[in-house]
Structure 1
Amino acid sequence: MSDSFLSLIPPILALGLVVLSRKVLLSLSIGIISGAALLNGFEPLPSLGMLYEIVTGIFVSDGGVNTGNVFILCFLIVLGMTAAIISTCGGSRSFAEWAAHRFATRRGTLSFPALLGVILFIDDYFNALVVGNVSRPVTDRHGISRAKLAYTVDSTSAPICILMPISSWGAYIISVFAGMATVSGFAGAGGLEAFLRTVPVNYYALIALLMVGCVVFFGLDVGPMRTHEKRALSGRGLTDPAKGTAADGTGDEPVNPAGRIRDLVLPIAALVIATVTAMIVTGARASSEVTPLSVLESTDVPTSLLCGGLVGWIVALLLARRRGTGNAALGRGLWSGVRSMMPAIWILLFAWTIIEVIDQLGTGEYLAGLVSGRIDTALIPLLIFLIAGFMSLSTGTSWGTFGIMLPIAADIAASTDPGLMFPVLGAVLAGAIWGDHCSPISDTTIMSSAGAQAHHIDHVVTQLPYALIIAGVSAIGYLALGLTGSGSIGLLVALAFFAAAVVVLRRLSRDTRTPAGEPSEAA
């Protein structure tokens, strides 16, 4: 079905229903069922059989446990329990009280997760979950909506990871580039060199990071984000009360008054150190030649995350017992932590299912085939960016988009204008991140919602206007690149339009900004 527009129906149906109904699981279910029906000629029993195989494949693969998926789910549960224990023993409260004296304004408070997101560039899952959990007590204290925290987390995690060669994303992309060395116009450039040459033309990732800085510094609240921030500023809730309170692993559980800042810092530090160590060890074991890049390319991220999560959990438990936290309080905290992660787990399971259905439909191949016809050379970077963006949006996977679109884009550039080789590869990477930011079935979007403990659909719809604005100025930049043949000119044009957009956004968001240097109402 990869040669038919019918392969677009399930993802478009799911995405449209998510936006219209705001019910993520229901919308994903309809997309999954419609896709299975198309694949099986609308025969009920074969469709059910296929769905059963897909769901069981999430947990069991090749006759054994699908450790990649299972370990990610276990890590989410362990992280939820760790956050709950830290809160129960008073670590989160102590850290929030300490930070309240260091971050006197909402601007300063929001700069904390933004900077932390840039620093923790090793992996997007790791980044989103850790930054969200560490920052949430601080941003809650200053009345910053959970939707804005989720935006800050999501819009720094993937963009910084895709710009850094020393990250799980960078290692994967470098490995893909290394396998394309025989493509005309690509010869002579190794995987690392090719990656570095795409960084200046990855307009979306660069401008997304700039947008986060502008949102923090200027207080840019537009579209649905303005509603969430107004509600938070007025003290009517950090999340939408109509959707219920987003679980944060604490609830109304008693907090140990003897808690200290190190009760939060030490478990998180242990998690970070153990995760990075496990990534190095698993990567070195799987590499035939141990080099920094080969280690990152071969690292087992799910296993590393779970190992790090367990170490952080154990440290949190030991500290809680040292503070005299009782078994009953710990038990309630652990169960509360498990419950806090269940919404994210359900969404992730449904997202994995629809991604598999979409893969069998051949949606990605169909979209990729649209760029293989007669294309004006000047439009190639722009069209590649748009196709990669829509593919990532509809399939929910940046990495899948990389695997499909990078070789196709290289072949198109080689057969039309080899000088456009690295600009079009950068356009693929940029488009994939854009679609990832817009997609409710993207795993990184789901992880960001989980880390910030925001309602998932609220995160999606509040991030969407920013993502579309960045995509718009990036598209103009790629058009300028195609017309001039210069990546630098394209970037300058994109930055000029971005600056103009920021000026307009500042005027639109004046009514939700607190004066510079003044504390927020919630503080």
Structure 2
Amino acid sequence: MTNTIIALLPPLVAIILVVLTRRVILSLGAGSVTAAIILADFNIKETFSIIYETVKGVFFADGAWNAGNIYILLFLLILGVITAFISLSGGSRAFGEWAMKRVKTRVGAQLLTVVLGIIIFIDDYFNALTVGQISRPVTDRQKVSRVKLAYLIDSTSAPICVVAPISSWGASIIAIIGSILATHNITEYSAFSAFMQIIPMNFYVWATLAVVLIVAMGKLDIGPMKKHESLAINEGILFDPDKSMAGELQDDLPTSEKGSVGDLVWPIVVLFVGTIGAMFLTGYTATEGNVTIFSIFENTDVSLSLFIGGVLGLVVAFALFIKQIVSHNHMPKSLIMKGTAAGIKSMLPAVLILIFAWILADLIGMVGTGNYLASVIDNSSLNTALIPFLLFVIAAVMAFSTGTSWGSFGILLPIAGDIAVSTDISLLIPAMAAVLAGAVFGDHASPISDTSILSATGAGSNLIDHVLTQLPYALISAVIAAAGFLVIGFTGSTMLALITIAVLLLLLLLIGRAISNK
């Protein structure tokens, strides 16, 4: 039953349950059990054995600790503790007061988040969590709902990373493109130049960023987002207190009145600089032969770098809090343990959800969900002009079903290369662009996506509320992008496709204004 249509059942179970029940861990667990049952051919004993081995594999694989996963989980816990100490030191309060004097409108607070999301493009995990920590005090003061913040974060993390050559995403994609070109003996352009040609063709990225700006300027609050924003503006309710908020400090911690903006800024700056420095160091030491900026990012260890940056940021946050105790003597030492415990506790929901998402992703991979979806397009007879559009759709469905954009483009990019070479070589670049665009869209729309989980965590938002409020905007961007891929498939003109997208975005802006004026 693996690598067949039955392989779609586990992600469907998880996605349907998460929408119906809004209980994420239960839904991810149900999808995982479904996949294990399929793999075990309904043998109960074998099912439990598969689940046990998969859970163990999250932490221990191939005879060694699964360092990548462990570092990510530790980074989340460290970030929670950093947040607690920043709050204790009065950094969040001071930064909010400072920002209120400069960012005086809701639009300004949202645009600040968008700009930060675009600037911090090195890695999507790092982007989602860091932007949330910086922006949340400002957006909270301006009564921007947490789901709106999560949407702004999520829609400026992966979309930017996927078109940035100097990023963990860009380096990996360039490496895959290089292997595709080598396989088919294509010498007209290098992997890097091919990637640069793909950038303007990633229509979902440009549609998403344009829609984000329209939303940030208050021109398009629709669906569930409109309800959350109305509660935030009119009643000051930024999130539903009855729902779990990953990354939100639940314990009643005191806040120092002596804190300064530096108590928030310096831990984040050290976290940022430390992570970037560690990425360069780990990439440099792992690179054999000619060392370039691209080879460094291709070989960098992102999870280890995040952990190193997190530890450095935590040391600074802790030192600043100790300074409060020593200099002002108004914060008891007992708050050190209480703050640490509160920070860890705040991140436990995100940690558990991420672990269950990884388990489901591993089992889905074994069931062959991605391989089945890839075979659908690989074995079909289709009009060559439809290739970019159909690859966009298949990549989106795959990423939505598996919760991973990386896994989707890792499988589909080589297939896109095979299809283009065997049908129309001029469609190679558009086909690869369509795969990358579809993978990001599917990841955005999926409730089992790790980037959705981390964006909600960074914003202090409920995960399901984030997914449901973001979905309409992701679908709008996807429809606009799909039109672009149809145009480029039939005309071969990137410019004409971009003009089509611009016209559709202009219509969207006009519709948004009409809706907002009602």
- Fold shared per TM-score above 0.5: yes
The equivalent of 1:66 in structure 2 is: 66
Aligned to 1:40: 40
> CA offset at residue 218 of structure 1?
3.4
| Aligned ranges 1:96-175 → 2 under 5 Å | 96-175=96-175
1:494 and 2:498 are equivalent in the alignment:
no
* Separation of aligned partners in 1, 2:216 and 2:121: 19
Contact 1:185 1:418 in 2 (8 A): no
Instruction: Write the distance in 1 (CA, Å) between the matches of 2:418 and 2:219.
Output: 43
Alignment length, in residue pairs? Answer: 511
Give 1:321-400 correspondences, 5 Å limit.
Answer: 321-324=322-325, 325-372=331-378, 373-400=380-407
Q: CA deviation at 1:335?
A: 1.1
Deviation of 1:244 after TM superposition, in Å, equals 5.4
What CA distance in whole angstroms lies between the structure 1 residues aligned with 2:42 and 2:118? 47
Map Cα deviations across residues 163-215 of structure 1 (whole Å, 9 max, x no partner). Answer: 11000000000010111123548433211111111001100011111111111
Separation (CA, whole Å) in 2 of partners of 1:181 and 1:410: 8
1:428 and 2:429 correspond: no
Spell out the pairing of 1:512-523 with structure 2 (5 A cutoff).
none
Q: Quick check: 1:240 aligned with 2:240? A: yes
Larger mean CA deviation between 214-223 and 288-297 belongs to 214-223
- Write the distance in 2 (CA, Å) between the matches of 1:162 and 1:135: 22
Distance in 2 (alpha carbons) for counterparts of 1:510 and 1:154: 27
Which residue does the alignment assign to 2:286? Answer: 286
Is the partner of 1:243 in helix, strand or coil? coil
Partner of 2:328: none
Distance 1:19 1:250 in 2: 25
- Between stretches 27-36 and 301-310, larger displacement belongs to 27-36
Deviation at 1:49, TM superposition (A): 0.4
The 1:457/1:274 distance shift into structure 2, 3 A limit, reads: same
Q: What one-letter code is carried by the residue in structure 2 that aligns with 1:424?
A: A
- Alignment check: 8 A CA contact 1:2 1:365 kept: no
**TM-aligned CA distance change 1:507 to 1:22, over 3 Å:** farther
Cα deviation code 1:381-438 (max 9, x no counterpart) = 1000000000011011111111100010011111111111100100000000000101
What's the secondary structure of 1:256's corresponding residue? coil
The more displaced of 380-389 and 322-331 is 322-331
Q: Give the distance between the partners of 1:167 and 1:244, measured in 2 at CA.
A: 32
Q: Secondary structure at the match of 1:480?
A: helix
Q: For the residues of structure 2 that align with 1:216 and 1:395, how far apart are their CA atoms?
A: 29
Structure 2 CA distance for partners of 1:489 and 1:112, relative to 1, 3 Å: same
* Aligned residue in 2 for 1:84: 84
Paired letter, 1:285: T
Percent sequence identity is 46
Task: Please say if residues 185 and 419 of structure 1, whose CA atoms lie closer than 8 Å, have aligned partners that are also in contact.
Answer: no
Equivalent residue for 1:444, pick from 444, 451, 458 = 451
Deviations 1:457-514 (A, max 9, x none): 1111111000000001111111111111212212211221122123223333446xxx
Q: 1:418 to 1:504 in 2, by over 3 A?
A: same
User: What does 1:16-27 correspond to in 2, within 5 Å?
Assistant: 16-27=16-27
2:492 aligns to what?
Answer: 485
Higher mean displacement: 394-403 or 230-239? 230-239
Whether the 8 Å CA contact 1:249–1:333 is kept in 2: the answer is no
The yes-or-no answer on 1:310 pairing with 2:311 is: yes
- Judged with a 3 Å threshold, the aligned counterparts in structure 2 of structure 1 residues 508 and 24 are, in CA distance, closer, same or farther, namely farther
How far does the alpha carbon of each residue in 1:266-318 deviate from its partner, in whole angstroms, 9 at most, with x for none?
A: 11111111111100000000001221000000000000000000000000010
SS of corresponding position for 1:41:
coil
Is residue 250–residue 333 contact of structure 1 (8 Å, CA) maintained in 2? no
Q: Does the CA contact (< 8 Å) of 1:378 and 1:479 recur in 2?
A: yes
Q: Which residue of 1 aligns with 2:412?
A: 405
Structure 1 SS opposite 2:377: coil
Q: Distance in 1 between matches of 2:370 and 2:10?
A: 13
Amino acid at match of 2:456: S
1:179 is paired with a residue whose SS is helix
- Give the 3 Å change call, closer, same or farther, for CA 388–206 of structure 1 in structure 2: same
1:255 alignment partner, SS class: coil
Deviation, structure 1 residue 246 = 6.0
Distance of 2:247 and 2:205 partners within structure 1: 31
Rounded Cα–Cα distance in structure 1 between residues aligned with 2:235 and 2:358 = 37
Q: Distance in 1 between matches of 2:248 and 2:493?
A: 48
AA aligned to 2:306 is L
Q: Distance in 1 between matches of 2:441 and 2:372?
A: 19
Which stretch of the first structure deviates more once superposed, 19-28 or 360-369?
Answer: 19-28
2:217 match: secondary structure: helix
Q: 2:205 aligns to what?
A: 205
Native 8 Å contact 2:403 2:450 kept in 1: yes
404, 414, 422: which one pairs with 1:415? 422
Distance 1:244 1:295, change over 3 A: closer
Note the residue ranges of structure 1 that are not aligned, 5 or more in a row.
512-523
Q: Distance in 2 between matches of 1:245 and 1:35?
A: 28
Please, which moves more after superposition, 275-284 or 369-378? 369-378
Which one-letter code corresponds to 1:23 in the other structure? R
Deviation of 1:249 after TM superposition, in Å, equals 2.4
CA distance in 2, matches of 1:366, 1:247: 36
Quote the Cα distance in structure 1 between the aligned partners of 2:268 and 2:33. Answer: 40
Structure 2 partner of 1:457: 464
Q: 1:247 to 1:383 in 2, by over 3 A?
A: closer
**One-letter amino acid of the structure 1 residue matched with residue 403 of structure 2:** G
Shift of 1:3: 3.8
Contact residue 178 and residue 191 of structure 1 kept, 8 A: yes
Question: Displacement of 1:87 after TM fit?
Answer: 0.6
SS in structure 1 at match of 2:189: coil
* SS of alignment partner, residue 182 of structure 2: coil
User: Which moves more between the two structures, 105-114 or 14-23?
Assistant: 14-23
Distance 1:88 1:18 in 2: 35
Write the distance in 2 (CA, Å) between the matches of 1:220 and 1:126. 28
Q: How many Å separate the matches in 2 of 1:13 and 1:252?
A: 38
Cα drift, residue 236 of structure 1: 4.7
Query: Is 1:266 aligned to 2:272, yes or no?
Result: no
CA–CA distance in structure 1, aligned partners of residues 384 and 391 of structure 2: 11
2:370 partner amino acid: G
Matched residue SS, 2:157: helix
Query: Distance in 1 between the 2:463 and 2:314 partners?
Result: 25
Equivalent residues of 1:82, 1:312 under 8 A apart: yes
Aligned to 2:5: 5
> How far, CA to CA, are the matches of 2:437 and 2:89 in structure 1?
42
Q: Who is 1:230 aligned against?
A: 230
